[in-house]
Amino acid sequence: MEQQLVDMTTRVEVLEKALGTATLMNTEIFYWWCTALMIAIHAGFLAYEMGASRAKNALASGMKNLIAFAFLVPTFFYVGWWIYLSFPGGLTYSEAGNAGLPWAANMGPNLSDQASGIFYAAFTLFAATTASIMSGSVIERIRISGFAILAVFLGSVVWILGAAWGWHPGGWLTATFGLHDTGAAGCVHMIAGFFTLGVLINLGPRLGRYNKDGTINPIVGHNMPMSLIGLMLIVMGFFGFLGGCIIYTGGGWTTIYNTPTTLSAFGFNTLMAVAGGMIGSYLVTRDPFWMMSGALIGVISSASGLELYYPGLAFLISFAGGCVMPKINTILVERFKIDDAVGAVAVHGFGGLWGLLAAGIFASGYPNVIEGAPPVSFFGQFASAMVFLLLGFIPGYALSYVLKMFGLLRVAEAAEVTGLDKAEVPARAYPESAIPAFSADMVSPSPAE
């Protein structure tokens, strides 16, 4: 009997070990595919920004996205992941950050570590998303070199500091204010949106955008179908993005705050949010570009409380966001003369603000599992939103101002008139456009003639 108990105990231990290994493998595989799916976001930004540009600027607009993606991978490895692990308590260094130093064992092919690399990969794609949010707003007049500097600073320093503060199990914004931001409406979208606003103030509008009397001239992209397809790709990539916002523990799914959730909740509310934002933006604009931008507004509007809302409520929150954000963009463009080429400040900056405040209204009182942290409240969401706003806007304005002083922010007027493709890219998007139209005079006579 005693031997049977020993054998049974051994079998249980073996099964528990096997279950733990399977959980780690499943978690690793899940984030692998979330990361892969998030690349669709960047394919989408690539397409929609090129389509939103005039033909003479199409490749330069695309190159910005490619360069940002390429540069953010190594800079986030060397700096970004360390920042996230080091500063959840504010600006006081935590020794947990040692695990994120580029020479640490966790930052290499350590076969016993099935978490660090895959989480780094997912967070790197979040970082690249912040740069892509800024990228669309500044098309057709920013220097590629200046944009690369801004993108690296935003993606590998600014947003990840906000994530350490408010999108971390021990972040001080949650510990102090009870911040709840499951889908990163604040630390990704709001920070990137207000960073972009700071850049746009220094960058200035495109030539010909405004007349001396303040009236506006429309500047239309050369390929709206390409932009619409790009925006739909971003919506697809959001399923990877939002999947990367939750954690599988073996006993079930949790948010970044260790509060329980399910993929089912995310499935319901993501689709309802997409539809609500699309319908809202369509009703107030009748514009296909804004209708598809409304899909992004919808996801961002419901992101902070995505796992908490009843699907019908998620639809209404996102519908409201879809109705309001195009109007905010109109105010920025017409009253404040902010030439945001794709409306990113309204969609991501103010959309992220609405997402945080909506959680404060509709999820108020929801308990946090972090010891000593207050429950979700409107005041806590608002206070955290103000931190994100300042964390985004001040660095964006300051760094772009310095670049402007050194002549690194904006291309020369002649280059802008000619087109950035000719000035900054050794290739042509549509070379056949230089060939004269076909005519009978161009046909070579046949040998018989």
| pLDDT one-digit tens code per residue, 301-318 | 999 999 999 999 999 999
Return the closest-CA partner of residue 154 out of 79, 99, 222: 79
pLDDT, one tens digit per residue, over 359-394 is 999 999 999 988 889 999 999 999 999 999 999 999
pLDDT at 428: 86
pLDDT at 25: 60
Res. 120: pLDDT tops 50 = yes
Provide the whole-model pTM. 0.92
pLDDT, one tens digit per residue, over 241-293 is 999 999 877 678 899 998 999 999 999 999 999 999 999 999 999 999 999 99
3-state secondary structure of 260: strand
CB 126 within 8 A of CB 188: yes
pLDDT at 434: 58
pLDDT, one tens digit per residue, over 56-92 is 999 999 999 999 999 999 999 999 999 999 999 998 8
Q: Is pLDDT larger for residue 353 or for residue 20?
A: 353
Res. 20: pLDDT tops 80 = no
Q: Report d(CA 271, CA 261) in Å as an integer.
A: 16
| pLDDT confidence band for 16 (50 / 70 / 90) | very low
pLDDT at 352: 98
The pLDDT mean for the chain works out to 90
Res. 11: pLDDT tops 50 = no
Topology adopted by domain 2-413? Ammonium transporter fold (1.10.3430)
Read off the pLDDT of each residue in 97-123 and give the average, rounded to a whole number: 88
Which percentage of the chain shows pLDDT scores above 90?
78
pLDDT at 18: 43
Measured N-to-C along each axis, helices 378-405 and 159-166 cross at an angle, to the nearest 10 degrees, of 160
Instruction: Give the largest Cα separation in the chain, rounded.
Output: 106
Q: Report d(CA 120, CA 31) in Å as an integer.
A: 10
Q: Report d(CA 56, CA 222) in Å as an integer.
A: 9
Res. 443: pLDDT tops 70 = no
pLDDT, one tens digit per residue, over 169-208 is 889 999 999 999 999 999 999 999 999 999 999 999 999 9
Q: What sign does the CA torsion over 26, 32, 33, 34 have?
A: positive
Q: Which residue has the tokens 């909506």?
A: 358
pLDDT at 449: 47
pLDDT, one tens digit per residue, over 143-152 is 999 999 999 9
| pLDDT confidence band for 4 (50 / 70 / 90) | low
Take residue 89 and report the two structure tokens written for it. Answer: 């308590």
